[in-house]
Structures are given as structure tokens and as C-alpha cells.
């Protein structure tokens, strides 16, 4: 993989039911204002192979579209990562919307803080009636120390401290960790926990994402709340963290951190 130091790759997994939302996601991406000399690439990977999604892809040369066997959003994103050309990797779920300035804020942190490997931001739930709902338990603006996300996740019934759907990270760091976990859900939380195990992060209190709530989203499906499956997902995510703590011997940056 070759990376462009002034390119951010936005990576999106999509399945047929969420294809109609790609238009709004694209508009929020197209309206982003980036620093001079910067651009974005949008890697869209379908979880499956349907004409429905193919026909929904906007006509823009900055878009790279791929399809493959269904395996869930984590598998789709990791497969799409093979086409990532940017030094930075931004998550955008197919049914979500970036707020104005979201990409610029992420890049400002990652380009001025070389010891920070990833960022997240506040998110607003976008409800079916068009209204939004926020949270009042977000951390303060600024760095998140290594291990803090995992400790919060353990102490709060496996709920992450920050929104993984708003994550932006250094591409080489995501690649080194193997990308998203091959889980039916919580695959993004698993990656976030791994990132925070080896690297400091950064939280931006300015809203960076509208997180759409609708009946067809993967996290709304019955299996997502099944206690047995949820416990299994948590167990493997924790095992990954423990292995990184005990076996890897490396941190980001390579020296110090």
C-alpha cells in the first residue's frame, strides 16, 4: 500500500438496505472544506454484490467502489482498506452524515500531534423524524491516554467511552492492527480498543457526526442485543487488548508514548 500524505481516505461499508442513504453521506463529504493542498478519497465497499448498491454510487472520480462476499461491515471495511491511498483513514457509515468541518478538525489534530494515533468526536443521534439527540457524558476535549477507552468499556457494560463511528486514524496504524474485527457487530469498537491499547487518542467535543437511527441499521437488528452473542464479541475484543498489552512490545509512536 502506498499512501499520500495529503490525502484522507474515507471508508464506508454499505449493504443494500442502506444504499439510499449514500446520497446524503456523499453530500456531507463533498461539502467538507480541507486545508490547501489536501483532498479526500472515498472508498465504498459493499457487503455483498447487488445492483441496488451499484446504482446508488455517486459519479465522482474520487470514489473507489468494490463488492464482495457478505461478511459484515468489519469485513467490508477491511477489504476496502486495500484500496486506501491516504495517510489517514476516516470512518463514515453509509447511513451517517459528517458535520461541516469534521475532516479538517480530525486532520488538524493528527498533523499537529505526532504522538496521537486516532481521533473521535461527539455525535448527534439523527432520529427518523429528523430531530437530533445528544449525550451529556462525553469526555473533555483533548487527549485520551492509552488504556482509558478499555477501562471505561469494562466498567460500563461494554459501552465505549467515545463513538467509534466518528473515528479517524493513521492508516499505517490501522493496517498494523489488522483493520476491523471480523465480528457481526461491535467490529468498530474492537478496533477502537486496539488502537487505544497502543496509542493515545484525541476527543473533539465539537459535533463531528450525525449518527442515523433507523430500523434497518445493523445495530438495530435483534442479534445485536442477544446476550450470548454480545458476551462473545466482548470476550474476543478483550482478548485482543490483552494480547496487545502482553505480546506486542510496541507502542505508537515507536519510541516513548
Residues 6+ apart with CB under 8 A from 168: 8, 88, 89, 90, 91, 103, 106, 107, 110, 118, 119, 120
Place of cell 485482543: 240
Q: Would you say residue 214 has pLDDT above 90?
A: no
* Percent of the chain residues past pLDDT 90, beyond the cut: 82
Alpha-carbon radius of gyration of the chain: 17
Q: Give me the pLDDT at residue 254, please.
A: 65
> How distant is the alpha carbon of residue 35 from its chain centre?
21
Q: Cis (ω within 30 of 0) for the bond into 240?
A: no
Comparing 60-64, 75-79, 153-157, 182-186, which segment has the lowest mean pLDDT?
182-186
The SS3 call for residue 132 is strand
Count of CB atoms within 10 A of residue 31's CB?
Answer: 11
Over residues 207-213, the mean pLDDT reads: 97
CA distance 67 to 200: 33
C-alpha cell at 92: 463514515
Count of CB atoms within 10 A of residue 216's CB?
Answer: 14
4-248 — its CATH code? 3.90.550.10
Over residues 31-35, the mean pLDDT reads: 97
Amino acid at each position: 500500500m502506498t499512501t499520500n500524505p495529503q490525502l484522507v481516505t474515507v471508508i464506508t461499508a454499505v449493504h443494500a438496505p442502506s444504499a439510499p442513504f449514500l446520497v446524503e453521506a456523499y453530500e456531507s463529504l463533498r461539502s467538507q472544506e480541507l486545508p490547501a493542498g489536501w483532498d479526500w478519497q472515498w472508498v465504498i465497499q459493499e457487503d455483498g454484490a447487488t445492483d441496488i448498491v451499484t446504482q446508488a454510487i455517486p459519479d465522482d472520480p474520487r470514489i473507489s467502489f468494490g463488492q464482495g462476499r457478505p461478511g459484515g461491515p468489519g469485513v467490508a471495511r477491511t477489504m476496502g482498506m486495500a484500496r486506501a491511498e491516504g495517510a489517514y483513514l476516516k470512518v463514515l457509515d453509509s447511513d451517517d452524515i459528517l458535520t461541516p468541518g469534521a475532516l479538517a478538525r480530525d486532520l488538524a489534530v493528527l498533523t499537529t500531534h505526532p504522538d496521537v494515533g486516532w481521533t473521535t468526536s461527539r455525535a448527534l443521534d439523527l432520529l427518523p423524524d429528523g430531530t437530533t439527540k445528544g449525550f451529556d457524558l462525553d469526555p473533555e476535549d483533548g487527549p485520551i491516554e492509552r488504556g482509558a477507552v478499555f477501562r471505561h468499556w469494562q466498567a460500563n457494560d461494554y459501552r465505549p467511552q467515545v463513538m467509534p463511528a466518528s473515528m479517524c486514524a493513521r492508516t499505517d496504524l490501522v493496517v498494523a492492527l489488522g483493520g476491523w474485527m471480523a465480528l457481526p457487530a461491535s467490529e468498530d469498537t474492537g478496533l477502537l480498543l486496539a488502537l487505544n491499547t497502543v496509542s493515545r487518542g484525541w476527543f473533539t467535543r465539537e459535533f463531528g457526526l450525525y449518527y442515523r437511527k433507523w430500523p434497518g441499521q445493523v445495530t438495530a437488528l435483534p442479534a445485536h442485543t442477544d446476550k450470548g452473542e454480545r458476551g462473545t464479541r466482548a470476550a474476543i475484543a478483550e482478548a485482543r487488548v490483552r494480547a496487545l498489552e502482553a505480546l506486542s512490545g510496541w507502542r505508537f509512536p515507536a519510541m516513548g508514548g
